[in-house]
Amino acid sequence: MSATQDLPGKVVTRFAPSPTGFLHIGGARTALFNWLFARHHGGEFHLRIEDTDRARSTEPAIAAILDGMTWLNLNWDGEVVYQFSRAARHAEVAHALLAAGHAYRCYATPEELTALREEQRAARQPMRYDGRWRDRTDWPNDADYVIRLKAPREGSVTIDDQVQGPVTVNNAELDDFVLLRSDGTPTYMLAVVVDDHDMGVTHVIRGDDHLNNAFRQLALIRAMQWPEPVYAHIPLIHGADGAKLSKRHGALGVDAYRDELGLLPEAVENYLLRLGWGHGDAEIITREEAVQWFELAGVGRSPSRFDIKKLENLNGHYLRAANDGRLVALIAGRVAAALGRELTDSDTSLLQRTMPELKKRANNLNDLAASSLFYLRSRPIPMDEGAAKLLASATPGLLDRARARFAAQDDWTAAALEQVARELAESEAAKLGQIAQPLRAAVTGSAQSPGLFEVLEVLGRQEVLGRIDDALAG
Ligand code: GLU
């Protein structure tokens, strides 16, 4: 029998992270695929926080997930569902299964179960519960019991996974797993199934580390005679070396991609989309296109490798396409921190004017912020090694004569200033570079910068002449 059935009506997906302190980059991709699938089908996308691990599910850990989702602009429908708050409902389902004979009380003690596992290990048998209380009714009074599912023992189950293809497991390999612990708390397996059902989830799209769980979950769904969702288990993301993505490959939390690497959400989204999903040769894909094109058939079966260089290049593309005012706002905090002071209105308007030039050269917000600092530093500005070298090897007297010409210049536009420099070069029988290089060093403190004459225009006459004076005096 196949797990897939044609579900009439609306598509409903969900993203169900457990709080760990951040939104995992792989989780973000799962969320994106669920979001896109729902939007593509005009359905709903829900967010469920699986906060049953009380020690880990702190307020900040939950806030980090919501923050990451918001940053990536993955808006969810309705209220966030908190799994822990639904514990009574989970217990109710376990008791309903018990009443219907699809579950049973198991009084096996932890010691007994440990002994069973030891025996199975010694006999090199798979370790699973043997069903010793499955058909018993001689229940002791006043002893603790758990509720276990009475899972089918004969036959097999096939899940027609939308990514993995049909996957079959023999029922003999699945044991009667616990639904409700002896303290009355639900297990993860029960909670997920009940919540998915109550939320009307039609498509379960998640990491393939959950494929094994799907067979147990399906047994539970069938015992309840609930509609079966369509499953799609996506291969996990691997690092560049082919091993499962982990801390040693770099940042795992989406917040680090934003704060430490200075990436834009649309670049991260585009990258995550292409990581494991494709549409022909398309690399740069807008959100509208993604919604239009996204189908589970485009999800690959093999794990994709995370390539930070590719992500950074893609970020460069989105940075150049981004609105200048937005970029100014995004780097303002970084710039203020580097300068050690608040930015003034004139600082921000200067950044705004120079942004078209600056963004041509940066691939992330950190570099963009760093490359803007020389504009805003107070005199005398620091000189890097390259700039110091250029000034030391400059033709003697040439920078002074350039200063005199600029001082006499009224039309302070990039084009006019370039003309001044060219005329000077001609009268000195020098190359333009002989003037431009020390000049660049003097006004930017570096051997590399955006177009020199644009820089002069943006800085203004007074500041330019002052910076040349500083360099001449140094
Ligand atoms: N809470 C699980 C996790 O974070 C996901 C459960 C599911 O998607 O079914 O791995």
What pLDDT, on the 0 to 100 scale, is given for residue 445?
A: 97
| Most ligand 1 atoms within 8 A of CB, residue of 86, 192, 197 to mutate | 192
pLDDT digits (tens, 9 = 90+) for 253-291: 999 999 999 999 999 999 999 999 999 999 999 999 999
| Most ligand 1 atoms within 8 A of CB, residue of 18, 51, 234 to mutate | 18
User: Helix, strand, coil shares of the chain as percentages rounded to 5?
Assistant: 50, 10, 35
Q: Is the pLDDT of residue 112 over 60?
A: yes
Confidence band, pLDDT 50/70/90 cuts, at residue 250: confident
Q: Please report, in angstroms and rounded to a whole number, the separation of the first and last CA atoms in the chain.
A: 84
Average pLDDT over residues 77-101: 98
The answer to whether 247 is a known catalytic residue is yes
pLDDT digits (tens, 9 = 90+) for 146-169: 999 999 999 999 999 999 999 999
pLDDT digits (tens, 9 = 90+) for 343-372: 999 999 999 999 999 999 999 999 999 999
Please work out, in degrees rounded to the nearest 5, the angle formed at the alpha carbon of residue 459 by the alpha carbons of 456 and 464: 65
What pLDDT, on the 0 to 100 scale, is given for residue 148?
A: 98
Who lines ligand 1 at CB under 6 A? 16-18, 50, 192, 206, 210
Select which of 244, 247, 309, 389 is catalytic: 247
110 contacts: CB under 8 Å, gap ≥ 6: none
**Upper half-sphere CA count for residue 32 (Cβ side, 13 Å):** 30
| The token pair that represents 14 in the structure block | 């969900």
Q: Is the pLDDT of residue 83 over 60?
A: yes
Confidence band, pLDDT 50/70/90 cuts, at residue 444: very high
Instruction: Measure 369 CA to ligand 1 centroid, in angstroms.
Output: 38
Instruction: Measure 27 CA to ligand 1 centroid, in angstroms.
Output: 9
Instruction: Measure 156 CA to ligand 1 centroid, in angstroms.
Output: 24
Q: Considering only CA atoms, which residue is closest to atom 7 of ligand 1?
A: 16
Confidence band, pLDDT 50/70/90 cuts, at residue 9: confident
Rounded mean pLDDT of the chain? Answer: 95
Query: How distant is the alpha carbon of residue 245 from its chain centre?
Result: 13
What pLDDT, on the 0 to 100 scale, is given for residue 251?
A: 84
What pLDDT, on the 0 to 100 scale, is given for residue 1?
A: 36
Tell me the backbone φ, ψ of residue 289, rounded to 5 degrees: -65, -40
CA distance 388 to 394: 10
Query: How distant is the alpha carbon of residue 248 from its chain centre?
Result: 17
Tell me the backbone φ, ψ of residue 342, rounded to 5 degrees: -70, 155
Confidence band, pLDDT 50/70/90 cuts, at residue 8: low
Q: DSSP states of 181-204 as a string?
A: -TTSPBPHHHHHHHHHHHTT--EE
What pLDDT, on the 0 to 100 scale, is given for residue 350?
A: 95
Ligand 1 atom with minimal separation from the 209 CA:
10
What pLDDT, on the 0 to 100 scale, is given for residue 69?
A: 98
Q: Is the pLDDT of residue 2 over 80?
A: no
Q: Peptide bond before 166: cis, by omega within 30 degrees of 0?
A: no
CA distance 296 to 214: 18
pLDDT digits (tens, 9 = 90+) for 389-437: 999 999 999 999 999 999 999 999 999 999 999 999 999 999 999 999 9
pTM of the full structure = 0.92
Distances in whole angstroms, Cα of residue 68 to Cα of each of 19, 237, 420: 12, 18, 51
Contact 372, 358 (CB under 8 A): yes
Contact 257, 28 (CB under 8 A): no
The rounded radius of gyration (Å) of the Cα atoms in the chain is: 32
Average pLDDT over residues 117-135: 95
Confidence band, pLDDT 50/70/90 cuts, at residue 5: very low
Dihedral through CA 275, CA 290, CA 69, CA 244, nearest 10? -10
Q: Is the pLDDT of residue 7 over 50?
A: no
Q: Is the pLDDT of residue 6 over 50?
A: no
Comparing C-alpha atoms, which of 85, 28, 81, 88 is closest to residue 200? 81
